Amino acid sequence: EAGPGPAWPSKCPWGAPKAAPMSCSLADVMSEQLAKELQLEEESAAFPEAAAVAEGPFITGENIDTSSDLMLAQMLQMEFDREYDAQLRREEKKFNGDSKVSISFENYRKVHPFDSDSSEDEVDWQDTRHDPYRADKPTTTPKKGFIGKGKDITTKHDEVVCGRKNTARMENFAPEFQVGDGIGMDLKLSNQVFNALKQHAYSEERRSARLHEKKEHSTAEKAVDPKTRLLLYKMVNSGMLETITGCISTGKESVVFHAYGGKSTNEEDKVIPPECAIKVFKTTLNEFKNRDKYIKDDYRFKDRFSKLNPRKIIRMWAEKEMHNLTRMQNAGIPCPQVVILKKHVLVMSFIGQDQAPAPKLKDVKLSSEDMKKAYYQVLNMMQQLYKECNLVHADLSEYNMLWHEGKVWLIDVSQSVEPTHPHGLEFLFRDCRNVSQFFQKGGVTEALNERELFNAVSNLNITADNEVDFQAEIEALEKMNEDHVQKHGKKVSMFPSDGDPP
Ligand code: ADP
Ligand code: MN
């Protein structure tokens, strides 16, 4: 149809339902055909790439239904929205100029602020090369509860301080909960207002979780959301990955895919392994709530934790896994090698061959000789992890150890913490219990019991001869360390000075 609008096709490029055939004159048919031809020409001129994308391989691998029209439409829409917002920001800037009073176009934006992928929102490989290994010492809050002298004294109950703190805490509410743009305005909320808001935020959160549940379950099959697919698509498109062949594992917190590696996108990067595992940390926030305790008390992430929205916290899990794997790699512990981190997607080398992942220790039947070998290897790796990497796995068991090329490989280290983590020693004890029990049941008579193993790994020489007392001593040590941190602003070393392996 000729009109004043842009030469935009009135038809959707993905095709439209066939119109029921109507009887009409030959002349009508002829002109309709002509119109269709003209339109097709126009379409292919206007959308050369779109047509190519629709036909070409999307994410290769026949069994992944990613070439769906809906998917493509959503991704294009996402790109469009982003461009639209960028344009809007330019217009807003131009409109306001140097004026002291400005008008915000915020409400006209397409992308939800918490969904946006603006660069400042990005926790990416580029930003996180630096391992916060020996990060700045944890800050101390004076135990006495006040700062300053004489009339300049400020207690923790100070109204202004308290109000500001409350305002800052508000940012920890669920992302769906709009708290307004008080940031930068030095708002001071009273405790009463804060508590009322908090209550409301929680009930809102529960309500919206119920609403979202239906939506999420319907897409649970596909396991990854459009944004993640776009990320994966870009990795294939850039040639970094050859093909993504399929899903290896779907857990509560992550989905793992197998892929064939492609070519490195820039020269300085290391070569991409022929087979890769892609771990996608689920952006469904609910599952991660119970993992707070690992990261919240990890001082490496302390400063950032309070400022982040839950989406960023999930990226932090991926980041943690990357840093921990890198440390392990440097110590020579058999584990996947990091290829790249993009937001909540971690690409690493694949442990296994020809798309078949190496079996977990719990699934493999080892000869008693191999079992004994595996035990000593695990004991050694636990010591290395503790001493050389300054890490406690914190989820070590036969489920997270793979048997490949005649040795044990450690995986799944996103929750690993440093031994000085407030619960680090408890996590270590739990790891020791799992390992001891597994190998003792597996018939390794030499296997140390969990308490002996704990001492062998940590060199702490806790003498209690029963579980309860042992646990109590561990907790007392942790408490001592925390008190020390409070007083002196630094961690006590939990390493014995001699470097000899026991
Ligand atoms: P989760 O937190 O879901 O347990 P994992 O990192 O343990 O995540 O991965 C889940 C499963 O995926 C593992 O049990 C293992 O079978 C497989 N897997 C993960 N990473 C790799 C890898 N690099 N190579 C081969 N298989 C892997
Ligand atoms: Mn696991």
pLDDT tens digits for 262-278?
988 766 667 899 999 99
Model confidence pLDDT, tens digit, residues 316-343? 999 999 999 999 999 999 999 999 999 9
Q: How many CB atoms lie within 10 A of CB 343?
A: 23
**CB-based burial label for 119 (10 Å; 0-12, 13-18, 19+):** exposed
Q: Which of 85, 298, 395, 412 is catalytic?
A: 395
Instruction: Report the chain's terminal Cα–Cα distance, integer Å.
Output: 84
The residue among 385 and 485 whose pLDDT is bigger is 385
The pLDDT assigned to 208 comes to 63
CB-defined site of ligand 1, < 6 Å: 248-249, 251, 253-254, 256, 277, 279, 336, 348, 350-352, 357, 360, 400, 411-412
Instruction: Name the more confident of 377 and 35.
Output: 377
- Residue 291 has a pLDDT of 60
Q: Where are the beta strands (DSSP E) in 300-400?
A: 338-342, 345-349, 352-353, 356-357
Is the per-residue pLDDT at 431 higher than 90?
yes
Asked if pLDDT for residue 147 goes beyond 80, the answer is no
Structure tokens at 89: 């920001």
Out of 59-63, 144-148, 183-187, least confident range:
59-63
What's the CA gap between 196 and 217, in Å, rounded? 32
Is a pLDDT exceeding 70 seen at residue 167?
no
Return the pLDDT at 29: 58
Query: Which pLDDT does position 313 carry in this prediction?
Result: 83
Q: Which amino acid is at 261?
A: G
pLDDT at 138: 45
- pLDDT of the residue at 496: 46
Cβ neighbours for 151, distance < 8 A, ≥ 6 positions apart? none
Q: Is 395 a catalytic residue?
A: yes
For residues 419 and 282, give the distance between their C-alpha atoms in angstroms, rounded to a whole number.
Answer: 27
Report residue 278 as tokens.
């892609």
Level-2 CATH architecture, domain 223-357: 2-Layer Sandwich (3.30)
pLDDT-derived band at 193, boundaries 50, 70, 90: confident
The arithmetic mean of pLDDT across residues 415-436, rounded, is 96
Report CA(287)–ligand 2 centroid distance (Å).
Answer: 14
Query: What was the pLDDT predicted at 108?
Result: 83
Tell me the fold of 359-491.
Answer: Transferase(Phosphotransferase); domain 1 (1.10.510)
pLDDT at 246: 92
Spatial distance between the Cα atoms of 262 and 236, rounded to a whole number of angstroms: 8
Cα of 350 vs centre of ligand 1, distance in Å, is 9
CA geometry: angle 55, 60, 63, nearest 5 deg = 105
For residues 185, 190, 194, 197, the Cα torsion angle rounded to the nearest 10 degrees is -80
Least confident piece of the model among 133-137, 141-145, 379-383, 396-400:
133-137
- Of the pLDDT bands very low, low, confident and very high (cuts 50, 70, 90), residue 293 is low
pLDDT, tens digit, 9 for 90 and up, residues 9-24: 555 556 556 655 555 5
Q: Which of ligand 1's atoms lies nearest the C-alpha of 256?
A: 12
Domain ranges within the chain, ordered by starting residue? 152-216, 223-357, 359-491
At residue 385, the pLDDT reads 98
* 3-state DSSP helix/strand/coil % of the chain, to nearest 5: 45, 10, 40
Length of the chain: 502
pLDDT at 182 over 60: no
Backbone angles phi, psi at 125, to 5 degrees: -50, -50
**Residue range 76-99, pLDDT digits in tens:** 787 888 889 899 999 999 999 888
Buried b or exposed e, range 441-458, using 16+ CB within 10 angstroms: ebebeebbebbebbbbbb
CB 245 within 8 A of CB 260: yes
pLDDT at residue 67 is higher than 70:
no
AA letter at 417 = V
* Non-local CB neighbours of 162 within 8 Å, separated by 6+ positions: 156, 188, 191
What average pLDDT score do residues 113-125 get? 44
Task: Phi first, then psi: give them for residue 392, nearest 5 degrees.
Answer: -115, 130
Contact predicate 188/164, CB 8 Å:
yes
